[in-house]
Structure 1
Amino acid sequence: MSQPDLTLSLQFADPRHKALLPRHKVIRWMRAALERPGEITVRIVDAEEGRSLNHDFRQKDYATNVLTFDYSHEPVVAADLVICAEVVEREAREMGLDLVAHYAHMLIHGTLHAQGYDHEEDDEAAAMEARESEIMRDLGFGDPYLRH
């Protein structure tokens, strides 16, 4: 089965991890999570921009790991993913995770959100986590929900 096409704009407002996120890897990880063609912008930001966006759009006054702004699910997935480098780095350190694997997980998580996956309800969360775990394993990473 071939993977869907992905048009990607990859932006680094915070360049601290740019070397860890080469375009070809980001595309590979995101395409593994796509179920239909996508046009997605990924913006890596600092804590200030992440906090501001989370406050403006979710009324939460802190920077979060990934924000997904989904505009359409069909026929093409159109979305913006905003990933806060400082939060991803802190989470990886605190949980003893490989930083690259954690970025891959956040990109997959955001890409699933862009297609309508959610985790507000227990059954939705279980389905989304199972899909994330499957994709991560298929890509050669460990299960992000199993703490070692």
Structure 2
Amino acid sequence: MNKIEWLTDGVTLMPDIDAPLLEKWIAAVAKTHNRIVGPLTYIFCDDPKIIEVNRRFLNHDYFTDIITFDYSRGRMVSGDMFISLDTVLSNSELVGATYQRELLRVIIHGVLHLCGINDKGPGEREIMENFENQALVLLDEIKS
């Protein structure tokens, strides 16, 4: 049984991802934070689904790129992550990144949350971005 599931909800196509490569990357990133990968589920969805999840479970009335539900225990990271492909696309255009690179950033963002990295408090966003950038460098190293 795979520890990582890649699902869709509300979108017709799975994003173009190399699941075995990403699974190796996610495990490597978790390891850099002294964590091991447990069951993870990525659910790629659209904006209507992400706002439904945001309203229903978090009482937030806004779009977001990712919502992470954390089921981690001890060193084992585990959780469900809803990723809005619509918001990933609009954010990629806003920041001048490719859609694929922004999608990778969001995929690892959820794992970093599961590793205990926050991004809501003072100075935390910069720390999160630094860890995201380090993770993307690690992915480039794994690819080569």
Q: TM-score with structure 2 length normalisation?
A: 0.82
Matched ranges for 1:94-133 at <5 A: 94-133=94-133
Per the alignment, residue 8 of structure 1 pairs with 4
Of 79-88 and 25-34, more deviation after overlay is shown by 25-34
Question: How has the CA–CA distance of structure 1 residues 57 and 42 changed in structure 2, closer, same or farther, with 3 Å as cutoff?
Answer: same
Over 6 Å off, 4+ runs: none
Matched ranges for 1:1-148 at <5 A: 7-13=3-9, 14-16=11-13, 18-34=14-30, 35-140=35-140
Of 38-47 and 71-80, more deviation after overlay is shown by 71-80
Q: Is the 8 A contact 1:7 1:40 kept in 2?
A: yes
Give me the CA root mean square deviation.
2.0
Q: Is the 8 A contact 1:29 1:104 kept in 2?
A: no
Please give the per-residue CA displacement for 1:7-49, whole angstroms capped at 9, x wherever unaligned.
1011022234x24223224323422321322210000011111
1:79 corresponds to which letter in structure 2? Answer: G
Count of matched residue positions in the alignment of Structure 1 and Structure 2: 135
SS of aligned partner of 2:3? strand
SS of aligned partner of 1:20? coil
Q: Is the 8 A contact 1:50 1:64 kept in 2?
A: yes
